[in-house]
Structures are given as C-alpha cells and as structure tokens.
Structure 1
Amino acid sequence: MKSLTTTLASLALAGTFSTAHAADLVVGGKNFTEQQILATMTSQYLEGLGHDVDTRAGMGSAVLRQAQENGQIDLYWEYTGTSLINYNDISERLDPEETYARVKELDAEKGLVWLAPSEANNTYALAMRVDDAEERGILSLSDLAESINDGEELSFALNAEFYARDDGWRPLQEAYDFQVGRPDISRMDTGLVYQALRDGQVEVGLVFATDGRIPAFDFHVLEDDQGFFPAYALTPVVRQDTLDELPELEEQMNALSALLDDETMAALNARVDVDRETIERIAEGFLEENGLL
C-alpha cells in the first residue's frame, strides 16, 4: 500500500507540471503571503511585457527548488540565506555580499542564475513596541544587551524553532554577551509572538524583518549592529537555459527587484495579512504606481 501511495503521489506531482512549458515562462512561488504577492506581481509584470506566463504559486520551498532544478519552474524569488544553508549546506557565517556571491557561484553549477538582489532581507530579527523602545533607549541589539547587563528586566517571546536552533537564541546571546533567564522567555507559535508583543505581554519578540505586522502593530526592529543574523536577500532566480532563450529577462527582473526593500515588502504584506486586500489587486496597484504596468 505504501508503494502504491508513493506512486500515486508521484503521478499527481507530474500532473501538476504536465503543461508547464505550454507557456514560454513558468513562474513559481512558495506558500506564504510574501511569496504569493511576488509570484502574482511577477506574472502580471511579465505578461504586460508580452510574455506568455504560467503561474505555479503556493508550493513548499524544497518542492519549488527541486522543480526549478528539474526544469519545471523557470523563475521564482528565493532568499540568499535559504539557498546557502538549506540547499547548499554552508554553515559558515558570511556577510550579505559574501552570501550572495557564494550562492550565485554554487547555484550556477546547477544551471540557476541569481539576478540582482533586492534590498528586502526577510531575516530573523528582534523587535519591541516603538514607544517602549524609545522610552528605554533600546534601538539595537547592542543596546538590548547593555540594558540587560545593567539589570533591566525584560520579557521575551520566541518561537520554539529559534529557541532551539544551533544558530538561534543561545548563540545570539553569546554573540552579544548577555543572558536571559528561562522564566523571562515564553516559547510560542510565531503568530502568537506578534500578538503578545502588540498586547504588552512581553517587551521583546522574535519577528521576520519583512512581516507586514511590524508596521501595522507599530514595532521597532532592533538593529543587528554586529551582523549576527544571516542575510536572506530576496532575489529573482532564473534557469540558465531560460535566460539563454529570453535574455531580456535579466534587465526586466532587475528593474522589479530594484523597487523592493524591507519597508515596501512589509507594507505590501500588511495589506494582505492585516487589511485583507486581494493579492491580485495589491500586485497590480504596485506595478501601476511604479510604471511597470
């Protein structure tokens, strides 16, 4: 029965991609808000430029990457840190420029081309409520460490994964030379972290840098002034054989990438997650506002 199930799953996956190259471009996307916005926006943008586009959004990260390597997806937006750590098994700590250069080199061997990175970096971060951060004078992680070492009591909300990761909470404390006792740490689902921080149940929470709830809930992201967190620069990645057939894609996608930064992505994400606007409408409006549609 197990082999039959596996066979059926394989056939279902094959069916998902059976008409993938009926269009001249297949644009992929992962299964969370930011990626769904980008997949829709990219498809609308490229269709406006005359490309025939097939959109395959809502995929898991590993499945999407495999589909691109196998030629079933031509183009999607990936994060430099994800490729470095998850796809290429590099644990070495690199700065943003080194991270980009390394994944560009390693993925070129797999027939994938990293185009120009955007200024959007969807990495881990710690955040506080703006008024609280300003009142306490805590604007960076070094400020946070200094306050804790001076005896200020602060409570933290972290998701369970970050708390336990080898590159997570423990090494962060080591890097910035501070220590928080277990009673001051609450472990919870990521979504609950944002609520707990917003509602004043904790002073500091773990967030993702481009999450739309950061501006919506008036959070201040503490500057990672010692560069502890890996870079997750949002970047269009295209197959080399696709780029050989459509060389204009490089200039076209780089123009879109140049418009994206943390603040822009957070605002777009918030319009979906907080304001409940449709992704199609948000993507179209952004392209029109920037003269790309």
Structure 2
Amino acid sequence: MLRARTFPGSLRTAHGLRRAGGGGADRGKPARFLPRGRSALAGARGRGRLRAVAVIPSAGQTGQPHPGRGPGIPGAVRFLLIELKNTEPRTQRLEDHPDRLKWNARYLAPKRLAPRGFCPLYDRATALGFPDGPVLELACGLSDQALALAEDGREVLAVDISNVALDRLRTEAAERGIGSRLTCVEADLVSWRPPAGLKFALVICVMYWEEAVFDYAWPVVADGGLIAWQGFTLDHLRYRPAQNPDWCFKADEPASRLPAGEFTVLHEEDVDEGHRVIRRMVARRNRS
C-alpha cells in the first residue's frame, strides 16, 4: 500500500524526517533524498517501510532565507513523502509461490502430467551438435532429455520451481544409476542465477518465457555451444486469448535478444499445432 503526502518546508526541515518505524537500526537516520527527475517510488520500492523524499522545486518562485537557519533554497520547495508498506516483501517464500502451487497441483492430479519423450527442440539441438561440457535445462519439469544427457555422461543442471517434478526426476535418475550426474535445483527462475563462472555446452528451455531469464541464459553458453528455446508466439493468443501476452515471444524473439555478432541462429521455425502456436530457435555461440 502506498501513501503519499506533500508539505512545504526547507531542506533542513525535511532532513529531520526519520525512516518509518523509528526503531532498531533505522533510529535516528535521515530520510533518503532523491534528485529531481528520479522517481521517489524507484527509491522506495522494495525497501519495506522506508520513507523516501523527493525534492521538487516549484516553478517561478524564489526562496527566502530562513530566520536563524541560513539561506533558503532557491525556488519554493515541496517535499513528497512516499511511504511503502511492506505488503509485498522483497522475497517470496518459494513454497508459497503461485507457479509452484500451480505446477505441483498439475503433477499431483489424478490425470497427472507425465514425461512425453524427447522434445523436437532437443532433437534439433542434438542433430546440430554441441561440444563437451555440462548442460543447463531451465523449467525442466519431468525432463526426458535431462535424463538422456546424464546417461550420455553429461553433467546436467536441471532447474524448476516444482519440487514434485524434481523429486520424480531425482528418483528416476537414481534408479538409472545416473543420480550423481544430475543436479536438481528448486528455484524461481526469475530470481535464480546460474553458478558464477560456469559455462554450458547447451542451455535449453522448453515452453517457458521470461525476458529476464533469457537475458542471463545466453551469457553462460560456452564457445561453440548452443542455446535452444521453445515458447509461445503472440499468434498463440488466437487459441488462448486469456493468456498473458508477456509469456509469448514478441516479434523476432528470442533471437533478437542475442547480441549481434556473438551468436549464429542455426534453426528457427514457427509451428501451428492446431491448439497452440510455438516457436523453436537454436543458436550457436561463435568461437572467439
């Protein structure tokens, strides 16, 4: 919940304000000032109960010296005090994440989701070939390709928000004797980041799209490695008008988000399956 109020005063008066709460580590600390042109909301967002102050000179007015307090501020000033209540915490508990609840319910349903065999995107990436090295699969679910890659001797890092799916994946890997080569990570992909310094021969993601996730995925592709992505296009909205368009590729995405000169797109196709429209893209990082 946001509450905003304005009041006149001098910079010195505003500097005397304290952060909301007034206790603990915040006791006695001055309010935060934001330069003109920067949103006060930007300074307060995600800071819990922090009060932020924006100094906004009024046009066409001149300030007067404040008796006993030195010269005034040029131009009359009003201060915007933004108080951001902590109704939306910076970090959400993973077990309460709506995506986790949704996918766990699907995997636990009587007619539950099951592995569907190799994805055509994986088949295409395999046909194109990629160098030795570990593999990263994002939004893996019950991934047959993660298991197959581990059986081929690859180290596989499989990330998904559903603990139910990952538990089944771990169990299957253990039964096949490849559990040591498959590392499962329960995470919200938007806030998760790949291990620092690690490069992957293949980064693959099937039927999941967040621009922020793609933007941290392509930098971890090794020289000569592949990034393979599949998701909905905006044409899919013909079949599912209620779907969030942010979950669909726009224009030439995802290829258009790759840095020019660093990748070569090897395969790209749009497929209308009669109930959905998807795009598959495979690109190779050029060797430096």
TM-score, normalised with respect to structure 2: 0.30
The structure with the largest helix share of the pair is 1
The structure with the largest strand share of the pair is 2
Q: Tell me: higher relative CO, structure 1 or 2? Use CA pairs within 8 A at least 6 residues apart.
A: 1
TM-score, normalised with respect to structure 1: 0.30
